[in-house]
Structure 1
Amino acid sequence: MAKTARPAKATLAAVALQAGVSTPTVSKVVNGREDVAPETRARILTALEQAGYKSPVQRRSVARTSTVIEVVVDVLTSAYTTEVLDGILQFAAAEDVEVLVSVAGPSTPTVHTAERRAQRMVDEGRAGMIVVTSAFSEAQMHAFRRRRIPVVVIDPLNPPPADVVSVGATNWAGGKAATEHLLELGHRRIAYIGGIERAECNQARLHGYMAALAAHGISVDPQYIISGGRFRRDSGVSGMKALLGLKKPPTAIFAGSDSIALGVLSEAAHCGLKVPGDISLVGFDGTIQGEECVPALTSVAQPLEEMGRAALRSLLRQARGEVLDSHRVELATHVIVRESTAAPAD
């Protein structure tokens, strides 16, 4: 009686033969090494997938019962990041999901770094990744998409590829509402201090500000639009210095983030100006920092915790193979009026 032949076990040597390369070259790709040409790497990855090859780490991870996801952030010290993470962790606890948090670091990761990270995620059996950083470009994100790793991006620097899910807030509406609040108080000389100029969220907030001015028949003064370069406190300090140097300084400022607004407050105090007595100020984010500063900051609140929950919810649905209704989730913003805004003194 003839014996039934067993399927050949997928080995590195078999994959190397199929891809037309050496076994050590295949091993480099499996272990996330950089020194493989992109075309060769792509050919090997295709061969690995077709052969159903699993590394020893992958085979060990099959026994895992819990879901593990990774969250990548710029910094862990910002109030924005902390509140987004709170939302992710709350939802993760309810869904029995383990969360690993890593910091992208001060320098932008290279494509090779993204390749290593993506391969490690495959090897360790992680379900997907949430990105809360501007450090990953579309080229770097390709390393994850090619391996079919679900990714969700929160408030990306630039619009992500059409097949990448993103979560954000209604930045344009928030910028318009912030400016309208100042207009309703009687301000007409209103400045905007933004963060990263090319960031999609910054552009949306700026255009909301401009739309509110236009709706009230007020021409936009280019001198009143300052690009801070970052959504950080020092952008508020430098922006405030520039505005105070004008012949007609503004009576109110809309800052593109709460961190920028805190820098404006600091420089105003340094110059002996009172907020809101001498100048009114509105921030954007609605973080605990703005609530606890003196004076308490009027701010456009983003639902940061809900953004974190929405990101993880979308990621888990992708990991389960579900088809999402939309690749873009936008949550509503609203103005919280506190102590930093009042009618102009003049």
Structure 2
Amino acid sequence: MGDTADKPRPRSFRVTSFDVAAEAGVSQSTVSRALAGDPVVSEATRLRVAEAARRLNYYVDNNAARLRTGKTGTLAVVVICRPGEDRKDLNPFTYALLGTICAAASTRGFETLVSFQDGPANLSGRYEEQRKADGLIVIGTTQNAPAWDYYRDLGQSGMHWVCWGSPYDELEWIRSDNHAGARLAASHLIEAGYRRIACIGSEASLQRQFKERYDGYAERLAEEGLAPWLVEIEDGKAREEQGRRAVQALIASGRPFDAIFAVCDEIALGALRELSEAGIAVPAQCGLIGFDGIRASANAMPPLSSVQPDFAAAGAMLVDKLLKAIAGEPHEQRRVPVTLLARASTRRG
């Protein structure tokens, strides 16, 4: 008997948004905005309206709503890939971020339209003009400058968009708190007793996050009176290959080192493989920590320490920043919080 109270009520007549408004104790206009995912409506009110709609077995006529409001109820997500890159070889970080974006959009009442793009043959971002989406989120590699140039130029047309880790600071971007995360990584290595700590990364890469991570690492080492040491990655190579080649250069330099901070996990995984092949034991002879917290890092041998951004927060911030832009409202949050994942690759003794 108790279970029947939670089931949608059968109706012999057509339920309207006015019925939902009466059930939820709000105005009809609030119902419309809540079910359309309007960010002006608080989360508590949106949930109350959604529950009232469920109880009354009310469904939005999406076609009518789109005609009436001029909105599609859809957000486009473009994943930029390296030219010719097999989609299964994309950085796992990108797939994790894509999943949280889609989840955040769904929670806010939006569908997502996802496109993987890598070159002139398939670069296409005019979703608003074509009435396919209300706005656009761009994520993916920075190792495709023509694609980012395309979207930067397209953005000047007035479309609503936001991106993750943009190579251009003037764009509307969201990034990890890279500086603080790199300080966490450096502090962790220092506290574990490492003193000759190299950084595999770049100050000049279009991946602006790498520079921010190097700066945080260098600042923390300087506070301890330790000398920062940057081993530059080679442009155009896959991340794991960049890590392997950087370790080769590190060994060839003859300069003693006892730990490495790699500015992303895929670089760190390449470094780990090269260290193993060179007979350098991790963590006994060389501590190793990455950044991004991808799942593969936990399955490495030994498991890789890393700095992980809050993926759920990243997806939510990207969606909310876009929805605020669509609504013509400010959204100043840009930095996603990070946490340290201490694993065996930095655990001495």
What TM-score comes out, normalization by structure 1 length?
A: 0.71
Q: Measure how far apart 1:333 and its partner are.
A: 1.4
Alignment partners' CA distance in 2, 1:95 and 1:262: 36
Q: Measure how far apart 1:196 and its partner are.
A: 7.5
Aligned counterpart for 2:74 among listed residues 65, 68, 76: 68
Q: Measure how far apart 1:153 and its partner are.
A: 0.9
Aligned to 2:334: 329
Aligned to 1:212: 220
Aligned to 2:30: none
Aligned counterpart for 2:95 among listed residues 82, 91, 108: 82
Aligned counterpart for 2:276 among listed residues 269, 278, 297: 269
Alignment partners' CA distance in 1, 2:67 and 2:202: 44
Alignment partners' CA distance in 2, 1:120 and 1:177: 40
1:248 equivalent to 2:255? Answer yes
The secondary structure found in structure 2 opposite 1:127 is: coil
Listed as ranges, the gaps of 5+ residues in structure 1 are 1-60
Residues 1-346 of structure 1: matches in 2 within 5 Å? 62=67, 66-75=72-81, 76=87, 77-105=90-118, 107=119, 109=120, 117-119=124-126, 121-133=128-140, 134=142, 135=144, 136-137=147-148, 140-146=151-157, 148-159=158-169, 161=170, 164-194=171-201, 197-198=204-205, 199-221=207-229, 224-229=230-235, 232-319=239-326, 321-326=327-332, 328-343=333-348
For residues 65 and 118 of structure 1, do their structure 2 counterparts lie closer, same or farther at Cα, with a shift above 3 Å needed?
A: closer
Q: Deviations over 1:3-39 (max 9, x none)?
A: xxxxxxxxxxxxxxxxxxxxxxxxxxxxxxxxxxxxx
Listed as ranges, the gaps of 5+ residues in structure 2 are 1-65, 82-86
What letter is aligned with 1:304?
F
The secondary structure found in structure 2 opposite 1:245 is: helix
Q: Measure how far apart 1:99 and its partner are.
A: 1.1
Q: Deviations over 1:51-100 (max 9, x none)?
A: xxxxxxxxxx7478751221111345321111101111111222231211
What letter is aligned with 1:186?
G
Q: Give the aligned length.
A: 272
Deviating runs (4+, > 6 A) in structure 1?
none
Q: Measure how far apart 1:101 and its partner are.
A: 1.4
Q: Measure how far apart 1:120 and its partner are.
A: 5.0
